[in-house]
Amino acid sequence: MSQEMFRGQITAVAASGLVGLFSLFNMLGRFFWSSTSDYIGRKNTYFVFFALGTILYALVPHSGEVGSVALFVFCYAVIFSMYGGGFATVPAYLRDMFGTRYVGAIHGMLLTAWSMAGIFGPVLVNYIREYNVTHGVAAAQAYNTTMYVMAGLLVIGFICNAFIRAVNERHYIREPAPSTASRATAPAGARATAPAPGE
């Protein structure tokens, strides 16, 4: 994608370097965004993902139009950091929404959906690119439609995030309070109070 958008500016070696750079941002994003969510909350963190992601995906075609490799790299570096951040933050978000009782099973279902997106997403991206190229769109602009589709999907995600609510607290697991019987079976000689001075 980078080589087609910036033909003559990015070599195959440089493109490989970008893959490594984006992987680094993916890793760093797991630490940065999950730590940020501890301060602003998981739901607000996802609002940032959706809003900022929409802007960045919409800016990618513009970076190609103006020939700015730096803008392209910046957009995708932040996007990949949010991808890693979303992956690291979602277990805590599920806990906030559903409590801990079924969070393992729910997380497993979410990862299954995430994996399916990882398969069908690139297929869709390549299909849209091929469709554009075969209909006369220049290779440098072949990804523009895909980026706008991505931005639109993130707008939908933003709206969905605004509507979700946590389940009723009755579904949460709570630690049982110590009963009177358990206190009565305390070992013989155990003191309930601190010893008086001089004992």
CA neighbours closer than 13 Å in the CB half-sphere of residue 6: 20
User: Tell me, what's the pLDDT at 191?
Assistant: 47
Q: Kindly state whether residue 77 falls inside one of the protein's structural domains.
A: yes
User: Tell me, what's the pLDDT at 42?
Assistant: 94
CATH code at position 135? 1.20.1250.20
User: Tell me, what's the pLDDT at 140?
Assistant: 79
- Summarize pLDDT for 136-195 with one digit per residue, the tens: 888 778 888 889 999 999 999 999 999 998 887 776 666 666 665 555 555 555 444 444
Place of tokens 């933003």: 158
Q: Cα separations (Å) of 163 from 168, 171, 188?
A: 15, 20, 56
Q: Kindly state whether residue 178 falls inside one of the protein's structural domains.
A: no
Q: Kindly state whether residue 68 falls inside one of the protein's structural domains.
A: yes
Q: Kindly state whether residue 39 falls inside one of the protein's structural domains.
A: yes
Q: Cα separations (Å) of 37 from 23, 29, 100, 162, 174?
A: 21, 12, 18, 16, 24
Task: Please give the mean pLDDT across all residues of the chain.
Answer: 85
Confidence of residue 98 (pLDDT cuts 50, 70, 90): confident
Contact present, 147 and 12 (Cβ < 8 Å): no
Please give the residue range of the domain that contains residue 133: 2-171
Q: Kindly state whether residue 196 falls inside one of the protein's structural domains.
A: no
Place of tokens 């970008």: 18
Q: Is the pLDDT of residue 197 over 60?
A: no
Q: Kindly state whether residue 187 falls inside one of the protein's structural domains.
A: no
- How many domains does one find in the chain? 1
- Summarize pLDDT for 13-43 with one digit per residue, the tens: 999 999 999 999 999 999 999 999 999 999 9
> What percentage of residues in the chain have a pLDDT greater than 90?
50
User: Tell me, what's the pLDDT at 180?
Assistant: 57
User: Tell me, what's the pLDDT at 157?
Assistant: 94
User: Tell me, what's the pLDDT at 158?
Assistant: 96
Q: Kindly state whether residue 44 falls inside one of the protein's structural domains.
A: yes
Distance CA 167, CA 23 (A): 35
DSSP 193: S
- Summarize pLDDT for 57-66 with one digit per residue, the tens: 999 999 988 9
Q: Kindly state whether residue 199 falls inside one of the protein's structural domains.
A: no
